[in-house]
């Protein structure tokens, strides 16, 4: 599956576009080691990060927290990691 549009949308914070790609099955947010989530988080796009996490396929542990400058995004990522660990 080609994720270039998902990655570009996530990098630029195009939340509605990212949501459409995920809903219509045009992209896999887990692809390329969850690159879309990493770029959305690193670029401070809160709404896009929420959409990618809610989808459930992207790996929040793939995000390097050293590059996340938004405390809100850092909290979202940490909470999702904790939630997923509790499911195991």
Question: Which pLDDT value is given to residue 80?
Answer: 97
pLDDT in tens, 24-38: 888 999 999 999 999
pLDDT one-digit tens code per residue, 26-73: 899 999 999 999 999 999 999 999 999 999 999 999 999 999 999 999
Question: Which region, left, alpha or beta, applies to residue 21 given φ > 0 means left and ψ of -120 to 50 means alpha?
Answer: alpha
Task: Say what the pLDDT of residue 40 is.
Answer: 98
Using only the alpha carbons of the chain, give its radius of gyration: 12
Contact 18, 52 (CB under 8 A): yes
Answer yes or no: is pLDDT of 1 > 90: no
| CATH superfamily of this structure's domain 4-87 | Ankyrin repeat-containing domain (1.25.40.20)
Q: What angle do CA 25, 31, 54 make, to 5 degrees?
A: 60
pLDDT value at 2 more than 80: yes
Residue extents of the structural domains in the chain: 4-87
């Amino acid at each position: 599956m080609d994720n270039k549009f998902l990655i570009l949308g996530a990098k630029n914070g195009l939340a509605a576009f990212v949501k459409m790609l995920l809903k219509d099955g045009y992209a896999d947010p887990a692809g390329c080691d969850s690159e879309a989530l990493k770029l959305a988080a690193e670029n401070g796009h809160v709404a896009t990060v929420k959409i990618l996490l809610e989808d459930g396929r992207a790996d929040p542990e793939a995000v390097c927290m050293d590059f996340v400058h938004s405390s809100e995004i850092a909290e979202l990522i940490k909470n999702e990691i904790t939630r997923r660990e509790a499911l195991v």
